[in-house]
Amino acid sequence: MSSVLVVAAHPDDEVLGCGGTIARHADAGDAVQVLIVAEGATSRQEQRDRGKAAEEISSLAKAAKTAGAILGSVGVELLNLPDNRLDTLDRLDLIKLIEERIARHQPQVVYVHHAGDVNIDHRRLHEAVVTACRPTPDQPVRRLLSYEVASSTEWQPPGSAPAFQPNLFVDITSQWTRKSQALEAYGAEMRPWPHARSIEALEHLARWRGAQVGVEAAEAFCMLRELR
């Protein structure tokens, strides 16, 4: 059994990026802990007001817990940092939050956002996780991977940031149904087709990633570091 940590910026990112892989880890008996860093609601306001967004934040937290249960994660922790404002926080403070969770959960495998996403929180979180997972002698993390998030990763124009070029694919044929159910738990965050964050678009993406490697459905990742 392996310990796995999935780090996501916002509620729903963990399912969009690697929901099927979370379920596959759980099916294999791995302990998957999900860490969601930002609250995912207040960026829609003119000025940030957590009080006015309290109901939405609570609903997102409940959706995250429901999605985690569907996928089989052992725990979902939400830090409720400012949505789409992680670049306003001291980078060291964000790194230390990740380091604390790595020390607590001792994950052998960590998943995080792609470095080139449009969303600023995704990029800052990627940087923090890479730093927190630096290969020191006492580092428990042996595999570090980044995932794609529809409506962020593919929206970055060519040349503006590193392109997502996956070099590892996970067969989620048997887990797609649970991923779609977890997405439905985040119904308020989903959009109608043909938006990139519609369930139809996400199924097309899973089918295409699967077709790239000869299976019915897959999720794609960049393997950032692996120690065998």
User: Residues 187-225: pLDDT tens digits?
Assistant: 999 999 999 999 999 999 999 999 999 999 999 999 999
Asked if 154 contacts 160 with a C-beta cutoff of 8 angstroms, the reply is no
Strand order in the sheet with 75-81: 75-81, 31-38, 3-8, 109-113, 143-147, 218-226, 168-171
User: Residues 78-114: pLDDT tens digits?
Assistant: 999 999 999 999 999 999 999 999 999 999 999 999 9
Residue 21 has pLDDT above 90, yes or no: yes
Whether the model clears a pTM of 0.85, i.e. scores above it, the answer is: yes
Q: What is the DSSP string of 93-132?
A: HHHHHHHHHHHHH--SEEEEE-TT-SSHHHHHHHHHHHHH
Give the SS3 label for residue 153.
coil
The domain made up of 3-226 has a fold known as: Rossmann fold (3.40.50)
User: Residues 46-82: pLDDT tens digits?
Assistant: 565 666 668 888 999 999 999 999 999 999 999 999 9
* d(C-alpha 155, C-alpha 72), whole Å: 30
Q: Where are the beta strands (DSSP E) in 121-178?
A: 143-147, 168-171
Label the pairing between strands 75-81 and 3-8.
Answer: unpaired
Residue 45 has pLDDT above 60, yes or no: no
